[in-house]
Structure 1
Amino acid sequence: MHRGKGMKFVGDSRVPAERKPNIPKDYSEFPGKTEAFLPNFLLKEWLVGAVFLVGYLTLTVAHASPLEAPADPTNTSYIPLPDWYFLFMYQLLKYEFASGPYTVIGALVIPGIAFTALLIAPFLDTGKDRRPAKRPIATGMMLMGLVSVTFLTWESVITHDWAAAAEQGKIQETPTADIDENDPGYQVFQAQSCVNCHGDALQGVPNVGPSLIGTGLAPEEIADIAQNGVGSMPAGQFQGSDEELQQLAEFISALEPE
């Protein structure tokens, strides 16, 4: 056969001499295995997402959020607790080498080393074998990270005072009373700086002084407490006259919650 008569030459044997149009395959050729992204696949994704959304909203309505009392920056006895996925870092900051003057080690250095190790792990282990035994670097780093996070999370859970945390987070209604600001007893109350510990409406100040509304105490008992103290209240707080003390005691004793 002579050249040019029935023969075709191409530069690369992998390139077909006759090009065919790039027509997508008909999905009907693979029933149950392939499908069009729009609208078939996308509709399935939306359906699954809608089911999870309805379930999430149902749980939200059925179980109210565990709200606590308003945050008080002056309360140094509050026991904080982050969400469960941060418990391991919370526990890390309890150790001496990562807290106090070394907080930067627990907050930045150690997490930075862990993040860097995770970032460079693919470059340290470039082997093609996927079996864990054949990938000692990646497997060792994964196990070390998993054990560390699990241990720190467990330590944080078992060392947390759950009973005290439940009590401190309770929302308590603040008692109120109809206060006559022109009452001589209230004037004495303000003059003696009792407002600083018990509030201007005698409703109390959290972690400082209790409410003085509805104490159920007689005037004599209140006068004795004002002079001699009780609990965390030291003695000698009242500096007025006996008449002012009597007015103050009678005023507080008569207060009843609304």
Structure 2
Amino acid sequence: MHRGKGMKFVGDSRISATKTSQIPKDYSEYPGRTEAFWPNFLLKEWLAGSVFLVGFLTLTLVHPSPLGGIADPTNAAFIPLPDWYFLFLYELLKYEFASGDYILLGMLGLPGLAFGALLLAPFLDNGPGRRPGQRPVAVGMMLLALASVVWLTYTSASHVDWEARAEMDKPIPESEVAIDTEHDGYAAYEASCMSCHGGNLEGGPAAPTLVGIEYTAEEIADIAVNGIGGMPAGIFTGSDEELEQLSDFIMSVNESTE
């Protein structure tokens, strides 16, 4: 024991008098930038999270999420897309090093490495400074991740025909048209057209509605045989009489809606 200013007391001879590992760091040189985690900081975070949660729940009640068209398993041309915030992962799977034989690398390896690096960033650069220039490792990793996400999202979105996709994703309205199943042309429609245009001629993801069209009976017959737009030729394979009955059936449905 030394008397005076350098006096030290040791209660246990096994504990070093100069051990400082249990002493918290001194943040007094950063006045106003620190606060107690409990309850000050945690209470602020809880209040901010509660306000966001209440606002989000209110938005879902006032404005429900819109639903797209009914899924059509017979439409092989339909390409599903994730929501915009997952487009960068969708674009990543188009590259050779993240697809094919390396699909697991694209699905799990690269995203796991990227998100794992972001989790480790605070531990790799744990300096006391808060300015970007004082934390080059963490800031550099965050900027690299942000630039990658923005570039991949932009690249993916630039290859999508959003106008055509908006039409494809529109909900299919329920038809109020009365269908005469006893009509001579209904059997031909059921055999050749119903799988794409629907049981009530309401259309679907792969075909437009046949209600409210402005074609003549001759034009409908020609389209059924030769196709139009995205509809290929050869869909209808019946006889000339059945073709005439089909076009007459579609015309009769449209005449009943006028």
Q: Does 1:163 align with 2:163?
A: yes
Does structure 1 conserve the Cα–Cα contact (< 8 Å) formed by 2:185 and 2:242?
Answer: yes
Q: 1:250 to 1:168 in 2, by over 3 A?
A: closer
| RCO higher in structure (CA 8 A, sep ≥6) | 2
2:94: which partner in 1? 94
Residues 106-144 of structure 1: per-residue CA shift (max 9 Å, x gap): 21222233345456667766x867587787665654554
Q: Distance in 2 between matches of 1:244 and 1:216?
A: 21
- 2:211 is matched with which residue: 202, 205, 213? 213
How far the C-alpha of 1:254 sits from its partner, in A, is 0.8
1:184: which partner in 2? 184
- State the SS of the aligned residue for 2:94: coil
1:6: which partner in 2? none
Q: 1:14 to 1:165 in 2, by over 3 A?
A: farther
2:233: which partner in 1? 234
2:15: which partner in 1? none
Q: 1:180 to 1:109 in 2, by over 3 A?
A: same
Q: Which has the larger radius of gyration?
A: 1
The runs of 5 or more residues in structure 2 that have no matched partner are: 1-7, 12-34
Specify the code of the residue in structure 2 equivalent to 1:106.
G
- State the SS of the aligned residue for 2:253: coil
Q: 1:181 to 1:93 in 2, by over 3 A?
A: same
The equivalences for 1:72-221 within 5 A come to: 72-75=72-75, 76-78=77-79, 80-84=81-85, 86-118=86-118, 141-190=141-190, 192-207=191-206, 209-221=207-219
Residues 2-58 of structure 1: per-residue CA shift (max 9 Å, x gap): xxxxxxxxxx9355xxxxxxxxxxxxxxxxx99x96xx9999887666544443344
Q: 1:97 to 1:222 in 2, by over 3 A?
A: same
Q: Which moved more, 1:155-164 or 1:179-188?
A: 155-164
Does structure 2 conserve the Cα–Cα contact (< 8 Å) formed by 1:227 and 1:237?
Answer: yes
Does structure 1 conserve the Cα–Cα contact (< 8 Å) formed by 2:227 and 2:234?
Answer: yes
Q: Distance in 2 between matches of 1:41 and 1:117?
A: 26
Specify the code of the residue in structure 2 equivalent to 1:238.
T
Specify the code of the residue in structure 1 equivalent to 2:253.
L
- 1:245 is matched with which residue: 237, 243, 247? 243
TM-score (ref. length: structure 1): 0.61
Residues 54-75 of structure 1: per-residue CA shift (max 9 Å, x gap): 4334444554434333344444
Does structure 1 conserve the Cα–Cα contact (< 8 Å) formed by 2:175 and 2:202?
Answer: yes
Does structure 2 conserve the Cα–Cα contact (< 8 Å) formed by 1:205 and 1:211?
Answer: yes
**Coordinate RMSD, CA, aligned:** 4.2
Q: Distance in 1 between matches of 2:244 and 2:171?
A: 34
2:68: which partner in 1? 68
- State the SS of the aligned residue for 2:185: helix
| Corresponding pairs, count | 222
The runs of 5 or more residues in structure 1 that have no matched partner are: 1-11, 16-32
